[in-house]
Structure 1
Amino acid sequence: MDLFSRSWTALRTAVVEVPDEDFERPSGCTGWLVRDLVCHLVIGAQDVLITLVTPADSEPTVDAVTYWDVVEPPTGEDPLDALIPRLAAAYGEPRWLKFHFDDVGSAAGRAARLADHATRVSTRDEVLTVGDFLSAYVLEWTLHHLDLIAHLPTAAEPPAETLAAVRATLEKIAGTRFPASFTDKDALLLGTGRRAPTTEEKAALGDVAARLPLVIG
């Protein structure tokens, strides 16, 4: 819960601090502007709220790590991916998108703090505890924080502890450790294909390089 709150608070703060003119800059998500990414985060916050009030009686089927699948890279044909830019544009001015994000985002944060972490919930046709669900979302928030600031050099980065936690999660998903010489941020950017490795980094990765990027969904 502490990591969820830290990652979510940092991301929400980062969105608030983005100047309006920078909402038209590219984000780290291919094909999406910053405004599109923020619109996606609104939907993510809604998903948190929905899941926390969708109890399940059956045994958990996934945990904080197995919740995530390694999927094929997006082709741009997903209807939801195409819908996001249209929804983002419909807000018109960035202040309205910021307002909606802050409104729904603060509610998601409160709901997470109030939730019983032992309760089982259902989402994506899976069952997991609230604690595992919130832990899984630390990866979502941290990677999208990096996406948000990808072309905003003066913006604050995710907290160091959440970067380290998400690196550990990604290594469990990959079934291998990234080189110790990689910073946590670089391990995440390289591991998920958000940045191409340099010649030296590719050599350090060795056989692992052929298995990258890990597209998580």
Structure 2
Amino acid sequence: MDLFPRAWSALQEAVRALEGGQWAAPSGCTGWLVQDLVFHLVIDAQDVLITLATTTGAAPSRDAVTYWRPAGPPTGVEAESAFVRRSAAAYATPGGLAHHFDDLAAAAAGRAAAAADPAARVETRDEVFTVADFLAVCVVEATLHHLDLVRHLPGVDGPPPETVAATRALVEVLTGQALPAGPDDHEALRSATGRAPVPAAWGGFTPVVLG
């Protein structure tokens, strides 16, 4: 619960820092520019608001670890990717897209999550989670997409160390393998989640595609 506002606030600040040609720079998501990724974040923020409003009395069916299911690497040509690119390009200016995300992210992180009962149960994608587990999932998604956002933007701050550490710990649980020491946490997470090639020095490490 404590990490969620930290992750979302940092992501908001990174989007606010974007300027000029940075919106048209490639992101760390296959086939997406930075503006495309920010529109995807708009969808994520909407999902947070909708899910926190969709309470249920049913027992949890998944938690912050079992939420994640194996997936293939994105190709950038999926129908969802095409929708995201068209929608991002429909904004008259990047400022309009930034404002849309900022409004939704502030509502999701600053009000809905802060007001939610951690033990309450919510439903999303036909699964039931406690609020605490759902927001833990959101921390991982926000952290990884923050890394995607700044992949080719060295002047924009990355995600907070504490959310990176939490995401790294989850990846190690999901893969059943400790991430090798040496690479910085950002590059280690990119490789471990299929965003960058696995270094030869990692041996037979098998990445898990998340995001």
TM-score after normalising by structure 2: 0.95
Shift of 1:154: 1.0
- What are the Cα deviations for residues 152-191 of structure 1, in whole angstroms up to 9, with x where unaligned? 1111111111111100011111121111333321220110
Q: Distance in 2 between matches of 1:116 and 1:106?
A: 18
Partner of 1:55: 55
Q: Which residue of 2 aligns with 1:88?
A: 88
Instruction: Give the corresponding residue for 1:216.
Output: 210
Structure 1 match to 2:117: 116
- Counterpart residue identity of residue 210, structure 2: I
Question: What is aligned with 2:203?
Answer: 206
Aligned length: 210
Aligned residue number for residue 136 of structure 1 = 137
The Cα of 1:77 is off from its aligned counterpart by: 4.7
1:24-173 alignment to 2 at 5 Å?
Answer: 24-109=24-109, 110-173=111-174
SS in 1 for 2:177: coil
**For 1:166, what is the secondary structure of its paired residue?**
helix
Quote the Cα distance in structure 2 between the aligned partners of 1:25 and 1:180: 30
Q: How far 1:21 sits from its partner (Å)?
A: 2.3
**Which stretch has the larger CA shift, 38-47 or 108-117?**
108-117
1:185 aligns with 2:189: no
Distance (whole Å) between structure 1 residues aligned to residue 187 and residue 77 of structure 2? 29
Unaligned runs of 5+ in 1: none
Quick one: which amino acid aligns to residue 207 of structure 1? G
Q: Is the partner of 1:207 in helix, strand or coil?
A: coil
CA RMSD of aligned residues (A): 1.3
Quick one: which amino acid aligns to residue 29 of structure 2? Answer: C
Query: Is there any run of 5+ residues in structure 2 with no aligned partner, and where?
Result: none
Maintained 8 Å contact 2:73/2:194: no
Say if 1:28 and 1:147, in contact at 8 Å, map to a contact too. Answer: yes
Greater Cα shift, 159-168 or 174-183: 174-183
Distance 1:32 1:44 in 2: 16
Contact residue 20 and residue 95 of structure 1 kept, 8 A: no
| Cα distance between partner residues in 2 of 1:119 and 1:186 | 35
- Percent identity among equivalent residues? 53
The C-alpha deviation readout for 1:46-89, integer Å capped at 9, x for no partner, is: 00000001112221111111111121122445322210010000
